[in-house]
Amino acid sequence: MRVLILDYGSQYTQLIARVVRELGYYSQVVQLDEDVDVSDVGALILSGGPASVYEPDAPKLPVWFDKYHGKVLGICYGMQLLAHELNGRVERGELAEYGRTEIRIEEEDPIFESVPRETTVWMSHSDVVKVLPEGFRATAYSKNGMIVAASDFQRFWLLQFHPEVRHTQFGRQMLQNFLSKICGLRPNWNLEDFITQKVEELKRELKDKKVIAALSGGVDSSVACVLVHRAVGSNLRCVFVDHGLLRKNEAEEVMRIFKNMLGLNVVKIDARERFLSKLKGVDDPEKKRKIIGEEFIRVFEQEAKSYGATHLVQGTIYSDVIESARSGKKTAAIKSHHNVGGLPERMDLEIVEPLRNLFKDEVRIVGEILGIPRDVVHRQPFPGPGLAVRVVGPVDEEKLDILREADSILIETLKETGWYEKVWQAFAVLLPIRSVGVRGDRRAYDYVLAIRCVDSVEGMTADWSRIPHDVLDLISRRILNSVKRVGRVVYDISSKPPATIEWE
């Protein structure tokens, strides 16, 4: 049985699905216009969303809703929509009920089992249910007397607040109660079983086939490759392209871990000259990205052809699938050339996406179970075009070397001081500006290096990390003392938006 989450556009929809999985139940997010087979749906959750039920284009219940006869939990907009559809009354509420709110539970309800009578919840919608549909009773109120929970105790449970966010103190308990006590579901989701089943499935699907993958050393492609390798062994060829835009020791590390330690069939293509000569003198960031993307496909295509591959592994994960379904595209969003966009059509390759149903945290756990080192599995994101987008302006070997050295000092220092795991992403950027300084008694005229450390939610938005001054001081001193040609270090304090995380 699966738990279905109907997406009404809330920023927390994915979070509901993740929390449900963490509680041990298999969950899937569906869009309103998606076809759904309700036969194995054990619970339905309607997410929140930004709309108001009285707007002309307000999203409604899906066409298959009447075929589903199980229990339904409506959260926020989901509550308002259900109340509205069942002939209750929804009105604009007061903005005072935004954010953290104290509520009082007034009625026994299985959804509130083991939850104290007074508790804090997270509210994010200004519409409220004023009159409940017939047969419903209010079970909890806010301090101002607003209905925040209600039920008909048969089929529908309604929550005005978000049980999935951490600010709702007993939110997990409420979701757990809904799934186990109200829907009678038993936990059925664990990642060891997922691996066993997936490997069996891949063995059947890929028997005697030649499979190719682009291995970048990033989390998703690494876990996808190791999983497919479990199923088909050396019939999977992983191609690691060294485009000369990698971080210090990165190529050696990837080969050491995946070839020597984990025994994958990995070939390293040394394409450094090829990429750098194409990039020579190119200033425009988009042009740089395009050149790298196209060149990457060319290199990879050659390899795939000479290997005679029929299948291509991609590290698509569930967030990509949900995002692309939301934006109306049928295939998963191609984030970078490392997903080898364009190749499947050009070469008639069938795509294998073993992680399509997993969230990032789950991919990490699967990676750890498969024996991939923690360092790799918890690695920060790294853009496909690599250091080319961190050398602002034209790229050349000398600048790349300077950046590699400085970046490695930054990362080492953050690891040493315990900050590497606290920030979402940290890196150095070499600027095309030089500034005046003094070294010894001489005038110096060297590059400016920017340090970028951000806290982020999935890279969509970001804020600069509040790294302590002492740590910044250590980073700056070490770089200035040991990286020749860097004469000034600055810290980037821009949030996204309006800035992006990368500089190019």
Positions marked catalytic: 76, 162, 164
- Does 285 bind ligand XMP (CB under 6 A)? Our answer is no
- Judged by CB, which is closer to ligand XMP: 455, or 502? 502
- Judged by CB, which is closer to ligand XMP: 373, or 459? 459
Cβ atoms of residues 420 and 304 within 8 Å: no
Count the Cβ atoms, other than its own, within 10 Å of residue 234.
Answer: 9
Element holding 434 (H helix, E strand): strand 425-439
- Judged by CB, which is closer to ligand XMP: 249, or 500? 500
Each residue 327-366 as x (binds ligand XMP by CB under 6 A) or -, in order, gives --------xx-x----------------------------
Q: For residues 242 and 39, what is the distance between their CA atoms, to the nearest angstrom?
A: 48
- Does 384 bind ligand XMP (CB under 6 A)? Our answer is yes
Count the Cβ atoms, other than its own, within 10 Å of residue 304.
Answer: 26
Q: What is the DSSP letter of 258?
A: I
Cβ atoms of residues 407 and 427 within 8 Å: yes
Tokens encoding 489: 């270090």
- Does 249 bind ligand XMP (CB under 6 A)? Our answer is no
In 3-state terms, what secondary structure has residue 399? helix
Residue 137: left if φ>0, alpha if ψ -120 to 50, beta else—which one?
Answer: beta
Beta bridge partners of 270: 242
Each residue 436-465 as x (binds ligand XMP by CB under 6 A) or -, in order, gives -----------------------x------
- Judged by CB, which is closer to ligand XMP: 324, or 336? 336
- Does 385 bind ligand XMP (CB under 6 A)? Our answer is yes
Radius of gyration of the chain (CA): 26
- Judged by CB, which is closer to ligand XMP: 232, or 376? 376
At its nearest, how many Å lie between ligand XMP and the CB of residue 264? 21
- Judged by CB, which is closer to ligand XMP: 388, or 480? 388
- Does 217 bind ligand XMP (CB under 6 A)? Our answer is no
Residues 6+ apart with CB under 8 A from 315: 218, 219, 220, 221, 222, 223, 224, 339, 353, 355
Q: Which of 265, 425, 465, 476 binds ligand XMP (CB under 6 A)?
A: 425
At its nearest, how many Å lie between ligand XMP and the CB of residue 425? 5
Which residue, 7, 41, 20, 11, is CA-closest to 359? 20
At its nearest, how many Å lie between ligand XMP and the CB of residue 128? 36
Q: Would you state the torsion angle of the CA atoms of residues 369, 375, 379, 383, taken in this order, to the nearest 10 degrees?
A: -110
Each residue 87-126 as x (binds ligand XMP by CB under 6 A) or -, in order, gives ----------------------------------------
Which residue, 412, 396, 493, is CA-closest to 450? 493
* Total number of residues that touch ligand XMP (CB under 6 A): 13
At its nearest, how many Å lie between ligand XMP and the CB of residue 502? 3
- Residues at the contact surface with ligand XMP, assessed by CB under 6 A: 335-336, 338, 381, 383-385, 425, 459, 496, 500-502
